[in-house]
Amino acid sequence: MRRMTFPRRKWLTKHVSANCGVGETLVQWGVLIDADCPRCGEEEDATHVWSCKQPEAVERWNSAVEDLAEEMKKQGTPLEVTEASCASLVAWKTGSPMPTIPRRIQGLADAVEEQTKLGWPKFLEGCISKKWRRMMDHYYIRRGSMRSGKLWAIKLVHKLWDVAMDQWKHRNSVLHETDHKLLTQKTDEGIKNIWEEANAITRTIRPRCFNTTTREDVEAQEFCKRKTWLNHAQNMLQRYERKKEQQQEQQG
């Protein structure tokens, strides 16, 4: 934990304690009125960020688990251990039956069994069964290796946090992409409405920004320029309305 950057440590602490910005928590805080997952639409709590079965989420998960397998290989992990742990993570994610665990590696089946009882979400949080470390210590000793099960477990946990963090990043990218789509739609509707207002004003007296371009030209621009033009046009139209009201008051 001490080796983690402060932002990641903060994220992990909030996520494990269910105080992160997921749907269920935001509803409790009064920020949202529903707890729908931005990816699949189901109720979202902290664990759902990892268990979400939306196709893109599963694809990202599988890719992150492949990276985990590569890291385990670098640590001299037996192929059976790598396959058993990674296959178990994929099975938990997708809701599939847990894989059959080979007995060739002493202690592997016991480690997977105890981890299943603890829960695979706990595995992602770094709460791994002590039997993983004992199994690897025994394996290294039999191979005459100077590696230790403790260091292996530490590096495993850090890589598991990468898998968990990747799902959080994917969830947020989908959420903000949805927000961007809504903002784009709102901007385009605003441009349509303000042009209708401007067209009701005599061309010679309406704000200049409506006479130096056309609605088609504005709508053809990229989003940032459309948004900037809309803000400018709204300000100009408001200024025109205030000036019109002042003139009416003077005449009255």
Model pLDDT for residues 150-185, shown as the tens digit of each residue: 999 999 999 999 999 999 999 998 888 876 777 788
Per-residue b/e over 98-125, b at no fewer than 16 CB within 10 Å? Answer: eeebeeebebbbebbeebeeeebbebbb
Cβ atoms of 136 and 152 within 8 Å: the answer is: yes
pTM: 0.70
Per-residue b/e over 58-93, b at no fewer than 16 CB within 10 Å? Answer: eebbeebbeebbebbeeeebbeebbbbbbbbbeebb
User: What's the CA gap between 95 and 111, in Å, rounded?
Assistant: 20
Both tokens assigned to 56: 């893109």
Report the first-to-last Cα separation within the chain, whole angstroms: 74
Closest residue by Cα to residue 60 from 147, 170, 194, 151: 170
Q: Is 100 left (phi over 0), alpha (psi -120 to 50) or beta?
A: beta
User: What's the CA gap between 119 and 116, in Å, rounded?
Assistant: 5
- The per-residue pLDDT for 88 is 96
- The per-residue pLDDT for 252 is 64
C-beta neighbour count of 8 within 10 angstroms = 15
**Residue boundaries of the structural domains of the chain:** 53-175, 178-251
Residue 181 burial class via C-beta count within 10 angstroms: exposed 0-12, middle 13-18, buried 19 and up: exposed
- The per-residue pLDDT for 2 is 64
Write out residues in the chain with pLDDT < 50, as ranges: none
